[in-house]
Structure 1
Amino acid sequence: MAGYKAGERMPASRVFCEELGISRNIVLLAFEQLALEGYLVGRTGSGTFVANTLPDALLLTKKLKKEPKSDNASYINTEADVYPLPLPAELIQRNSARETVIPFQNAIPSFEDFPFAVWSKIANKVLRYFNLSHLGYDDAAGYLPLREAIANYLRVHRAVNCTAEQIIIVNGSQQGLNITGQLLLPRGAEFWLEDPGYHGARAALVNAGGKCCPIPVTTPDGLDLDYAKKHYPNARMAYLTPSHQYPVGGTMPACKRLELLAWANQNHMWLIEDDYDSEFRYTGKLLASLQGMDKGGRVIYLGTFSKVLFPALRIAYLVLPTVALANHFRYHKAMLDRQHPILEQLILTEFIQEGHFTRHLRRMRILYKKRQDTLLACLRQYAPQLAYSDMNESGMHILVWLPEHLSDKAVSELLRQEGIIAPPLSDYTLTNFKKPGLLLGYSAFTEAQITQGIEKFARVVNGLI
């Protein structure tokens, strides 16, 4: 209060009226507001006074010269089953930080080519007709029209046998993996994991209490089924990327899929089919999903919109073999976060139903193939001595092999210092795959960015060979 000290009595309201030339109602409203904010206090029979402790003083905090001695981390229950995370510290930090999209970050769609005008138009329409029915709690399984749209898409394009009642909307594929592990993997049970493979799946299933069994990947067929059956015949679950093995590449052939399904049926094993980027196949006909070939109800199908639209959308989905099992997942999802936010689901539903989703996929397949061709041509021109995977019929990255004497981690770090992101293959490897390599994503970058990036990439790598 300028001009008045703490605890000082305020003049009567009529004094302010006369001095300021304003009505008494305005002065009374001002007094009332200042009292609500804590600047004035009224005392019966005595008048109105400036508060002894002003709110401004409470808002001011003294700058700490140094952090408190106490370490909050000491309060973490280190005996909890989920601590520590079963991943190296650098991977945990990388997966927890904000990502800056620079060449050659992998598994990132082209943001510049996303149809923002269409998406915004649908969003405006959704908000315009947003009604009271959307303000309460919705089905924990997800917005029903969205699940129906996903089911229709999967039946036509991925030969997935399902209805909307078998689908659970989850907050990204990682939540889907966590729920699956917690509900279906007994504590202490073994699970197969492709090696190299997706470390997020390993973290989720180990956190659920499972014992990881790394299974070598045989190119181009994917997981070595004979090795898995011989060394870990009692495994209760397997995580697979049969349509496009991540990160090495390759597609599991139909005969091997049938053999895997037969083993799963005979041994009561659950199969998690992560179909993360099957939409981006550039040559040949895409095989039907593993789920579509499953007659015994052993496959949990996992799909995501992060790779085909944008990661911030945080919408993925599980397809369960039966409605009864889907209901168990639905109950578990409700206990985790009750439901996925409704607004994004409404927009995505319209986006799919109006045909924009399939049109966008067709455009991106053409664009990403062109960018892949540019990347391969640049590698041949600027780094001809390097070999790279020939399994590039689909996906959003290629795998470049390094000479045996080089450490892919060390090369990756040198490239990072030069502003190039090239994750090392060893980050995805547990025991069975020792050849050094780097992952180069291309889907998010223009041809000019790819060319400039490979020139810089080649200068660093060629200097080490």
Structure 2
Amino acid sequence: MLRPWKLELEIDKKLDKAVYLQIADTIISDIRSGRLKAGDALPGSRNLAQTLKINRNTVVEAYQVLINEEWAVSKERKGIFVSASLPVLHEKYAHTVRDSLNQQIIPNGMLINFDDGHPDSKIAPVTELARAYRQIFSIKAKWQMMGYGDEHGDVEFRKMISQMLNYQRGLHIHENEISITRGSQMGMFLTAQSLLTSGDSVIVEDPGYQPAWQAFEYAGAELLPVPVDKEGISIEAVEQILIQHQNIKAIYITPHRQYPTTVTLSLARRLKLIELANQYNITIIEDDYDNEFHFGYRPVLPVSSFPELRNFVYIGTLSKVVAPALRIGYLATKNQELLRKIGDLRKIIDVHGDVIMEQAVLQLIKEGAIKKHIRKATVHYKNKRDFVFELLRKYMKDIADFTLPEGGLAFWIVPKTRLDWDAVTKLLLEKNIKIIHPKQYSKSQVNGFRLSYGAISEEQLEQSIPLIAEIFSRF
């Protein structure tokens, strides 16, 4: 593939700015100036590393920053490309906008993207993972890994996942009740396709996680939204729907930290939900997307850990723990017929998972590197959460409601007055700040947004939160 663009960059290792950020900011500057166009291919990480005489992992980190901030996209087996829909205008036009609006803009011109709660790729254990990956080739017989594996994933890796779920989350799961997937969204899609048929209905939280909704709708299911309050999904509303509707096959929940509002489903509601699920013979699909990052005494045990519950699918991911680019998720269920269907479908779309990567992550788990990283990351995110909380109290306490979350990588912000979110998101983009429009959480009108902080630096948070507060105060 032709990559005619040549990076002109002088790396200064004496600067306080990390080398990977110097690379990322240089590329962003070329995108903003128009030198790099939408769809242009960036140099391969290996070639760029050789050109700059630096470690390839440094280039990989730089590219991950570009991907996280939506300046670039990764296309499997093709490479890294400038995003087809650039997040901000080219510099020449951007100056015109700033002059005409006469508004304060983020000083360095970089888009600050408040995503749905991505982790900080800068603290990912990339070195340890690369070492483990290399060691797998020297320790294991190469021919054993080069063939096809089990459609549900490496059995030793599944054993380790089952131990983690049993010891840390109170489940009662064996390795033959687990399927390893390429991220939690793949687990959601496989579950939807294997559990649902056209004409089925699925109860969902509203507001909620629309990528999961899309998986259910793609399987032909009708969505039945139920409101969420400070104790989680309304069980009274769930019960009314179960009484009134036929063909309800499942209920999809994020009970540990509801997406997007971050509230935890109360114990009383958990128990009632289990009772209803058993009574009406529906499956609870539990998405536990960020269980690891908890700042209190311990995370609340999953609904799926209650032995009384008959039908469940528990879905989780390791991508947030190890690295965002690492696509390893898992699903667990006692329903062997469902698991067989999932395996059959998996073989059609993806014969088996990344056995080598599973072995590498397994080695990190056995060595204790993952546990050490989680401890380190938890301290990192707790400090950042506290930092954000102080900024919110300083700038937003009079214009919005928010609470201090016990874990996760985001706050739920509810303005005290109803806002015109189309206007708000447009004004924020003019200041190089991107938030998720509330319509992406709900088909109804939600007056709140998810302020993520995991992948955003303290400097960016300090720059952007006062600007968000200023725009909110206009309405």
One fold, TM greater than 0.5?
yes
Structure 1 letter corresponding to 2:115: Q
Corresponding residue for residue 240 of structure 1: 253
* Alpha-carbon offset, residue 138 of structure 1: 0.4
Question: Residues 106 and 200 of structure 1: is their aligned pair in 2 closer, same or farther, counting only changes over 3 Å?
Answer: closer
Corresponding position of 1:137:
148
Query: 116, 120, 127: which is aligned to 2:130?
Result: 120
Q: Is 1:450 aligned with 2:461?
A: yes
Moved over 6 A (4+): 94-101
Which sections of structure 2, spanning at least 5 residues, go unmatched?
1-72, 76-82, 88-110
Aligned to 2:241: 231
Q: How does 1:33-432 map to 2 (within 5 A)?
A: 102-130=112-140, 131-219=142-230, 221-233=231-243, 234=246, 235-390=248-403, 392-431=405-444
What is the Cα deviation at residue 123 of structure 1? 1.6
SS in 2 for 1:165: helix
Aligned CA distance change for structure 1 residues 163 and 156 (closer, same or farther; 3 Å) = same
Q: Secondary structure at the match of 1:421?
A: strand
CA 1:409–1:281 in structure 2 vs 1: closer, same or farther (change >3 Å)?
farther
- Secondary structure of 2:271's partner? helix
The answer (yes or no) to whether the contact 1:106–1:441 under 8 Å persists in 2 is: yes
* C-alpha displacement of 1:296: 4.2
How far residue 263 of structure 1 moved from its aligned partner, in angstroms, is: 1.0
Q: Does the 8 Å CA contact 1:291/1:301 hold for their aligned counterparts?
A: yes
* CA deviation vs aligned residue, 1:362-384 (integer Å, no higher than 9, x gap): 11111111111111111222334
- Whether the 8 Å contact between 1:193 and 1:239 is mirrored in structure 2 is yes
Q: Please report the RMSD computed on the Cα atoms of aligned residues, expressed in angstroms.
A: 2.3
- Secondary structure at the counterpart of residue 424 of structure 2: helix
Q: Using the alignment, how far apart are the partners of 1:460 and 1:229 within structure 2? A: 40
> Percentage identity across aligned positions?
28
Shift of 1:453: 2.4
Q: CA deviation at 1:241?
A: 0.4
What amino acid sits opposite 1:121 in the alignment? R
Distance (Å, rounded) in 2 between the aligned partners of 1:210 and 1:95: 31
Aligned to 2:22: none
Distance in 2 (CA, whole Å) between partners of 1:294 and 1:200 is: 29
1: CA distance, partners of 2:342 / 2:364: 26
Which residue is 1:438 aligned to? Answer: 449
* CA distance in structure 1 between the partners assigned to 2:470 and 2:267 by the alignment: 42
CA 1:396–1:121: 2 relative to 1, 3 Å: same
TM-fit CA distance, 1:147: 0.8
TM-superposed CA distance for 1:447, in Å, is 2.3
Q: CA deviation at 1:435?
A: 4.3
Pairwise CA distance, 1:333: 1.0
CA distance in 2 between counterparts of 1:384 and 1:404 reads 13
How far apart are 1:429 and its partner, in Å? 1.2
CA distance in 1, matches of 2:433, 2:213: 27
Judged with a 3 Å threshold, the aligned counterparts in structure 2 of structure 1 residues 318 and 405 are, in CA distance, closer, same or farther, namely closer
- Please give the alpha-carbon distance, in whole angstroms, between the structure 2 residues aligned to 1:455 and 1:384: 12
The 8 Å contact of residues 250 and 391 in structure 1, kept in 2 or not, is answered as: no
* Cα distance in 1, alignment partners of residues 228 and 404 from structure 2: 13
Asked whether the equivalents of residues 109 and 307 of structure 1 are also in contact (C-alpha less than 8 Å), the reply is: yes
When the two structures are aligned, how many residues end up with a matched partner? 368
Counterparts of 2:186 and 2:267 in 1: how far apart (Å)?
A: 29
In 1, distance between residues paired with 2:74 and 2:357?
Answer: 23
Change (3 A) 1:117 1:150: same
Shift in alpha-carbon separation, 1:288–1:162, aligned structure 2, 3 A: same
Report 1:9-48 matches (<5 A): none
**Cα offset, 1:388, TM superposition:** 3.1
> Who wins on radius of gyration, i.e. which is larger?
1
Question: Could you tell me whether the CA contact under 8 Å between 1:168 and 1:317 is conserved in 2?
Answer: yes
- TM-score (normalizing by structure 1): 0.74
1:195, CA displacement in angstroms? 0.1
**Cα distance in 1 for residues equivalent to 2:467 and 2:309:** 51
Contact 1:104-1:441 within 8 A present in 2 as well: yes
Give the deviation of 1:349 after TM superposition. 1.2
Where structure 1 has 5 or more consecutive residues not aligned to the other structure, the ranges are: 1-93
CA drift at 1:450: 1.8
Instruction: Give the counterpart letter for 2:222 in structure 1.
Output: K
Secondary structure of the structure 2 residue equivalent to 1:312: coil
How far is 1:95 from its partner? 13
Structure 2 CA distance for aligned equivalents of residues 229 and 393 of structure 1: 29
> TM-score, normalised on structure 2?
0.73
Note the alpha carbon deviations across 1:45-64, whole angstroms, 9 max, x for none: xxxxxxxxxxxxxxxxxxxx
Deviations 1:281-314 (A, max 9, x none): 2124322111110434311000012222223211
Letter of the 1:355 partner, please give it.
G
**Aligned letter for 2:425?**
S
Name whichever of 222-231 and 192-201 sits farther off.
222-231
- The CA deviation at 1:273 is 0.4
Q: 1:374 to 1:160 in 2, by over 3 A?
A: same
